[in-house]
Structure 1
């Protein structure tokens, strides 16, 4: 069975939390969605009278949730209809539910925005603890997603180790890149250090994380270039922005005296920095 099939359903976790929010905040409408490919589609709804909330698809800066996404902090408005600090892209869905007061909390895992959790009431909110409770539930989801991510990473690492002896030499680059990618995302510094040691370059480092002129982050990026990934895919794998990935590639190309990214990979392999 694949690691993805073994993982519990993340949307089911969001739905369960939405029901819990509504159980505690009587008469509320609780809803949310997870970040997939830079968009958040509302997939979990509790307490709605209509089905229109599931038509909401958010991006950064759109609506109250988009602002929360941008700044990485919870936000709320007491009177949604008259709030002038948001874009009102989703008025038909929100006001169609009769929602007056709206709060949203981002679900952040390892500094990445993984989803949004909302709480709407059909009258002005009279509970000062409602926003705090919503934020605590978003943190609880983030904690659970983080645990699931780490379990997935360790299972994939174990399976890669178990099959390493049967793996063709051409696949060693993929294992090397995957080990460095996991090390980049694992929050535990000891586990990350062990993973980097497994994926260590053949040549010794200078003691400061640089190997033959390349930093660890530049090696991470080149390893994924060697697998044929594009900048946006590398950014998603390593939890970086696309401009940051481009910066690492420019620096690596300069240090490898390579005119192209592929030439930098070839030179890094020649120097023993990549398999």
Structure 2
């Protein structure tokens, strides 16, 4: 599995904020899991102390370790009196005053990447709405991490040719087409991501790929195309038909045609190929 990064912890913290609001629980905490089996408690939301911060929770230990081992949500009504969990962390739990808690594992590609907790300072029996809310926050986090992993994988594929010295001249055309396909895919992924920071990073990478080697344009400053017009042109540049572009961008085929006509008008072109070439000359596409 990918080694947890600082970005994982930032995503966990955002998810914990959702846990507090959606599950209406005063305390939320958690952290990333290393090697699929060892939780590093680092993110605390709504806590009164730092007693939980820095705990290392191995698989099977405590409530979080049980969630990792069972790979499903687990909860306790009274942490101190429970005989269903180990009590390795009683001191830290008592110091914070936690009494009842829910722990939900975050599983990405079969590996536990994090654990989210929701808790209260009294003995309560959690109802389905609270458990479902914490579980939904975990599912949303799973999706965010999976998308980010895929983006990182594709970025690595795109940049790999430039880390290899002496690229053969006869493979340059094929590499360029690979870059164009990757550029179109990244633009499509960027529209699906809710994390503003990650989306901005993807946009910056696509802009770099597009403008890395712009051809001289005899037409002056590049025209201003909308995000969706560029998305459509990127798909066309990657060799996609209107129907394929529509599927890639999750929009209708007629909408694709509308964006394409608008882009062609702005670029003063009369065909798809002319529009793509004009956008490349302007440094808008790779």
TM-score, with normalisation over the residues of structure 1? 0.55
Per-residue deviation, 1:8: 7.9
Alignment of 1:1-275 (within 5 A): 9-37=7-35, 38-123=37-122, 124-125=124-125, 127-164=127-164, 166=166
Aligned pair count? 163
Quote the Cα distance in structure 2 between the aligned partners of 1:165 and 1:140.
40
Per-residue deviation, 1:163: 3.7
Contact 2:73 2:105 in 1 (8 A): yes
Gaps of 5+ in 2: 169-286
Gaps of 5+ in 1: 169-275
Quote the Cα distance in structure 2 between the aligned partners of 1:101 and 1:116.
16
Which secondary structure state, in structure 2, belongs to the residue aligned with residue 158 of structure 1? Answer: helix
Quote the Cα distance in structure 2 between the aligned partners of 1:126 and 1:72.
19
Deviations 1:63-100 (A, max 9, x none): 11111111211101111111101001111111222222
Q: Pairwise CA RMSD of aligned residues?
A: 2.3
Quote the Cα distance in structure 2 between the aligned partners of 1:110 and 1:157.
20
Which secondary structure state, in structure 2, belongs to the residue aligned with residue 108 of structure 1? Answer: strand
Deviations 1:184-211 (A, max 9, x none): xxxxxxxxxxxxxxxxxxxxxxxxxxxx
- Select the structure of larger CA radius of gyration: 2
Contact 2:23 2:133 in 1 (8 A): no
Which secondary structure state, in structure 1, belongs to the residue aligned with residue 107 of structure 2? Answer: strand
Quote the Cα distance in structure 2 between the aligned partners of 1:147 and 1:166.
32
1:146/1:92 CA distance change after superposition, 3 Å: same
1:9/1:76 CA distance change after superposition, 3 Å: same
Quote the Cα distance in structure 2 between the aligned partners of 1:164 and 1:90.
49
TM-score, with normalisation over the residues of structure 2? 0.53
Quote the Cα distance in structure 1 between the aligned partners of 2:79 and 2:25.
17
Contact 2:161 2:167 in 1 (8 A): no
1:80/1:154 CA distance change after superposition, 3 Å: same
Which secondary structure state, in structure 1, belongs to the residue aligned with residue 117 of structure 2? Answer: strand
1:68/1:151 CA distance change after superposition, 3 Å: same
1:8/1:122 CA distance change after superposition, 3 Å: closer
